[in-house]
DNA sequence: CTTGGAAAGTCAACAAGGCTGACATAAACT
DNA sequence: AGTTTATGTCAGCCTTGTTGACTTTCCAAG
């Protein structure tokens, strides 16, 4: 699977990276097909709760940064506040998310997952992690390192900031 | 949870693939942020033509397989025929796609890009390839190989079939 | 203390692009 | 002749994105 150094494709040349349009097209399609698989498991689960991908994203990033503000979430998700608000309102009404008024700045709302919210987050992320873990296992550690390097380069610089802001175990 | 097979990929350095939930979460977020960047350039271009991502996908796969049938496209894109039809109808009416009745089986429609269609496809794919090329260059050839390996493992088996059906230069 | 402006929420309207269900047509297959 | 297949189309619904206008709250600068 991984014979580093013995070029299996024209792209693993030493210094020059000659990339044909066809090779790049392959990478583009890989992203397309993989993203479909990546979201498939959570999407299936969300149907049972009458939620969508937008709810998943909100729950994920609230879990990652408990107490985050609405504004911060808007920045990360890259949607309008009206769009996020609709999703957030549903989650709050259903008792999955709690919105607390800020102590220093009382205009801000700090978002937290309730017990129920944490349960849903766990169900979703376990499904998604399961697929990633299997993919990582089959591809091997070196492939995983490359995977993350390339993904990071594909991001917009601003998104890369958001991504790097949360290193492992921070 | 951690009962992977006894080291099937023992590679120098890390022999075992220990994956914490946090490391997996990082990979998940990398996919999320990268996909946003991945679609950003074409999305911007498509606005000028009043088209959306759905049109881009159709145009891409018709370009890849000129003469493909509607059914085949449905299979690859994973949407309903009503959804695809709406997009296809617009592209045909606007003169970007041509639909020819099949010769052997006259029920089938074979899809081709017109001159105009190829121009749009070129504009879109050049933008997308530009980003991929830059990312590949910055990450290096070994990272690229790993990138593609992991993406392929993330796909659903059926999607992997579609992906592998078109090797380089075929 | 007053006021400007930022943060947040709300309402209305709209569009893209998914979905289901029903139905039509032509061609191919049995 | 009857059934299945490939495609197209109409109608209607949902999610999730958008813009624009407006209000409330409240910090901070004048």
Pick the closest to residue A28 from B53, B146, B128, B8 (CA basis): B128
Whether any strand C atom is under 7 angstroms from the Cβ of B55: the reply reads yes
Mean pLDDT of chain A: 88
Q: Which DSSP string corresponds to B83-133? A: HHHHHHHHHHHTTSEEEEE-SSSTT-EEEEE-HHHHHHHHHHHHHHHHHHH
Q: For the residues B29-45, what does the mean pLDDT come to?
A: 96
| B65 DSSP assignment | S
Residue B57 vs residue B17, higher pLDDT: B57
Max CA pair span of chain B: 59
Protein residues closer than 7 Å by CB to strand D: A 50-55, 78-80, 82-84, 86-87, 101, 105-107; B 69-71, 74, 81-82, 85, 88-89, 99, 105, 107-109
Query: How would residue B169 be classed by pLDDT, with cut points 50, 70 and 90?
Result: low
Query: How would residue B44 be classed by pLDDT, with cut points 50, 70 and 90?
Result: very high
Q: Is B69 helix (H, G, I), strand (E, B) or coil?
A: strand
CA distance A84 to A82: 6
Which residues of B fall within a CB distance of 8 Å from A131? 154
Q: Point out the residue among B64, B134, B146 whose CB comes nearest to the CB of A139.
A: B146
Which nucleotide is the nearest neighbour of B103, by CA and C1'?
C27
Residue B12 CA and nucleotide C12 C1' are separated, in Å, by 61
Beta bridge partners of A113: A97
**Has residue B159 got a pLDDT over 60?**
yes
**Has residue A9 got a pLDDT over 50?**
no
Q: Which tens digits make up the pLDDT trace of A69-116?
A: 999 999 999 999 999 999 999 999 999 999 998 888 888 899 999 999
Query: How would residue A18 be classed by pLDDT, with cut points 50, 70 and 90?
Result: confident
**Has residue B55 got a pLDDT over 90?**
yes
Residue owning tokens 């911007």: B44
Q: How high is the ipTM of this complex?
A: 0.88
**Has residue B170 got a pLDDT over 60?**
no
Pick the closest to residue A154 from A44, A30, A22, A10 (CA basis): A30
Which residues of A fall within a CB distance of 8 Å from B163? 29-30, 33
Q: For the residues B93-114, what does the mean pLDDT come to?
A: 95
Q: Across chain B, how many H-helices and E-strands are there?
A: 7, 3
Annotation: CATH topology of B21-164: Arc Repressor Mutant, subunit A (1.10.10)
> Residue A140: how many CB atoms within 10 A of its CB?
21
State residue A16's pLDDT score: 61
Instruction: Tell me, rounded to whole angstroms, the distance of Cα A69 from its chain centroid.
Output: 18
Residue B86 CA and nucleotide D22 C1' are separated, in Å, by 37
Protein-proximal positions, strand C, CB < 7 A: 6-13, 16-22, 26-29
Annotation: CATH topology of A21-139: Arc Repressor Mutant, subunit A (1.10.10)
> For chain A, where are the E strands, in sequence order?
68-69, 97-101, 109-113
Contacts of B93 (CB under 8 A, 6+ apart): none
For B157, which residue in chain A has the nearest alpha carbon?
A37
B147 to A145: CB separation less than 8 angstroms, yes or no: no
Q: Which DSSP string corresponds to B4-26? A: --S-SS--SS--S----HHHHHH
Which pairing describes strands A68-69 and B97-101: parallel, antiparallel, or unpaired?
Answer: unpaired
State residue A101's pLDDT score: 87
CA distance B107 to B92: 18
| B104 DSSP assignment | S
Residue A55 C-alpha, separation from nearest chain B C-alpha, in angstroms:
14
């Amino acid at each position: 699977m991984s014979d580093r150094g013995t070029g299996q494709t024209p792209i693993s040349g030493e210094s020059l990276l000659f990339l044909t349009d066809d090779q790049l097209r392959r990478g583009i399609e890989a992203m397309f097909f993989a993203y479909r698989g990546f979201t498939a498991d959570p999407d299936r689960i969300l149907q049972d709760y009458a939620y969508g991908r937008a709810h998943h994203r909100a729950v994920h990033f609230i879990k990652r940064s408990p107490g985050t503000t609405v504004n911060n979430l808007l920045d990360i998700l890259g949607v309008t506040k009206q769009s996020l608000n609709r999703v957030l309102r549903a989650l709050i009404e259903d008792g999955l998310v709690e919105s607390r008024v800020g102590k220093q700045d009382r205009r801000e709302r700090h978002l937290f997952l309730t017990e129920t919210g944490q349960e849903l987050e766990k169900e979703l992320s376990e499904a998604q992690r399961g697929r990633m873990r299997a993919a990582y296992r089959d591809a091997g550690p070196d492939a995983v390192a490359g995977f993350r390097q390339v993904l990071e380069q594909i991001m917009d610089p601003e998104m890369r900031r958001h991504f790097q802001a949360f290193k492992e175990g921070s």
